[in-house]
Structure 1
Amino acid sequence: MEDDNPYESLPPSSTVTTHMLAGAAAGIMEHSVMYPVDCVKTRMQTLVPDPKADYRSLLDAANKIIRYEGLRNTMRGFSAMAVGAGPAHAMYFACYEAVKKRLSGNQQGNHLANGIAGCTATLLHDAVMNPADVVKQRMQVFGSSYTTCLQCARSIVRKEGVWAFYRSYSTQLVMNVPFQAIQFVTYEAMQDFLNNERGYNPSSHMLSGGVAGAVAAIVTMPLDVCKTLLNTQEACARTHLSYINGMAAAFRTVFEFRGFQGFFRGLQARVVYQMPSTAISWSVYEFFKFLMTHRHSKDDCGYLSASVPVGNVNGVNVHAVSPLRTE
Structure 2
Amino acid sequence: MMSCEEKETGSYGITTFQQVVSSCCGAVLTSILVTPLDVVKVRLQAQSNPSLKGKSFLDSDGLTDHVYLYENGTGKTWHKTSGRFTGMLDAFAKIVQREGVKALWSGLPPSLAVSVPTTVIYFTCYDQLRDALVYKIEDNDYIPLIAGGIARLFSATIISPVEMIRTRMQSRRLTYTQLLACISTNVANNGWLSLWKGWGPTVLRDVPFSALYWYNYEYFKMSLCKKSSLHEPTFLIIFSSGAAAGSIAATLTLPFDVIKTHRQTELWELDVTRSPQKTSASVWEVMKRIVVENGFTGLFTGIIPRLTKIAPACAIMISTYEYGKTFFRRLNKDKDMKNY
TM-score (norm 1): 0.76
For structure 1, the 5+ residue unaligned runs are 306-327
| Aligned twin of 1:9 | 11
SS at match of 2:334: coil
CA contact (8 A) 2:137 2:143 kept: no
CA distance in 1, matches of 2:205, 2:171: 28
| Aligned twin of 1:203 | 236
2:334 aligned partner, one-letter code: K
Change (3 A) 1:151 1:248: farther
Identity %: 22
- For 1:132-147, list aligned pairs within 5 A: 146=172
User: How many pairs align?
Assistant: 294
| Aligned twin of 1:310 | none
| Aligned twin of 2:30 | 30
| Aligned twin of 2:92 | 62
| Aligned twin of 1:189 | 219
CA distance in 2, matches of 1:106, 1:189: 20
User: Alpha-carbon deviations, 1:187-239, whole Å to 9, x = none?
Assistant: 111112212455141110000000011100000001001111222339978x9
Change (3 A) 1:280 1:73: same
Change (3 A) 1:253 1:70: farther
CA contact (8 A) 1:77 1:135 kept: no
CA distance in 2, matches of 1:156, 1:260: 39
| Aligned twin of 2:105 | 75
| Aligned twin of 2:283 | 247
Is 2:126 aligned against 1:90? Answer: no
For structure 2, the 5+ residue unaligned runs are 1-5, 54-80
| Aligned twin of 1:299 | 335
Report how far residue 149 of structure 1 moved: 11
TM-score (norm 2): 0.74
Specify which of 138, 142, 146 is matched with residue 112 of structure 1: 142
CA contact (8 A) 1:36 1:75 kept: yes
Higher helix share: 2
SS at match of 1:242: coil
CA contact (8 A) 1:27 1:281 kept: yes
CA distance in 1, matches of 2:97, 2:177: 26
| Aligned twin of 2:62 | none
The more displaced of 19-28 and 266-275 is 19-28
| Aligned twin of 2:208 | 178
Of structures 1 and 2, the one scoring higher in RCO (CA 8 A, sep 6+) is 2
CA distance in 2, matches of 1:5, 1:163: 46
Specify which of 82, 87, 93 is matched with residue 52 of structure 1: 82
- For 1:245-284, list aligned pairs within 5 A: 245-284=281-320
